[in-house]
Amino acid sequence: MRLLGTAITFSLIAATVVGAADAQPRLLDRLREIRAARSGKTGAAGAVSQTIRVGALDRSYLLLDAHRGAAPVPLVIVLHGGGGSPETMIPRWADKARAAGLVIAAPKGIGRSDRVGTWNAGGCCGEAVAKGVDDVAFVRAVIDDVSRKAAIDPRRIYITGFSNGGMLTHRVAIALGDRIAAAAVVSGAMFGNESAARTPVPMLVIHGEQDAVVGFTGGMSRTGFVARAQTIPFKPVRYAVDFWRGANGCTRAPVVTQQKGYTTERSSGCRDDAEVVFYDLPQGGHDWPGSTGGRARFGRFGGGGTAGGDSGPAPIDATDVIWSFFQAHTR
């Protein structure tokens, strides 16, 4: 059972919510992963598991190298949501990586099992926060490790994250702006305790107004076990957009465009061309819009669709939108 997909994240009590109907599929998935690991693969679209030492901890990430030719290529770091794993992010990016010749790194959060990981994003979530894990240092170490193993263009290193992973994405962009060319957050949040950004970073924010997990208007999550994993209320999505407008020195009024099923707000006139783009999905829930891989099987939170909001076709494909945004920015 995958705990991070388009339906819900942050399952810090996964063992108590997995029903008997899900036990057999999860066991089969785990057996496949074990067999793949023994052959040096992870079973996630051909990505290979890597282990690095960060402080006193052994941390791991999946590496998908679709690099072709001799020229250095972009690195995209993809952060899963709380209660998820790298295997839930790789399928969302595998086709794009192969089409564009990208290198994808999917780090693994801290959790009670290999399938349940969280990130310390300053106000959430779970075990990573309780243990004070330095996940920004982990991401920095992943960048360094991948750069030694693959032909990475240091001017085209990008990061994106979903939910709890999106929260950490904000933290990484703030702390590692001298290395990150652009960042994108899907269904994430800030907490109001962030440091000032070291340097302008182009930022893309995607969020659904019907999100029942990381609420569009902020506060404690309406999903009980997520609220219990928080130490600080979420700030509204508008707070995060305005934070990056200020950090990037955007002086022009945002240009707002209405599309079918969503609104885009683009802030330009920013230092170092570090624009801030906001996709507002009025019927969107807590999901990675357009995802066909890594979907959750939490039936009680939307039957594999969205956690709150319309379970019909998404008006955008988040992976396509994010990669288009990344392509426009080089550090």
Question: pLDDT (tens digit, 9 = 90+) per residue, 122-179?
Answer: 999 999 999 999 999 999 999 999 999 999 999 999 999 999 999 999 999 999 999 9
Average pLDDT (6-11) is 37
pLDDT of residue 88: 92
pLDDT tens by residue, 179-225: 999 999 999 999 999 999 999 999 999 999 999 999 999 999 999 99
Average pLDDT (98-119) is 93
Task: Report whether 187 contacts 309 (CB < 8 A).
Answer: no
Distance CA 276, CA 241 (A): 7
Cα dist. 134→56, 120, 167, 234 in Å? 11, 7, 14, 20
In the Cβ-directed half-sphere of 325, how many Cα atoms lie within 13 Å?
Answer: 29
pLDDT of residue 44: 65
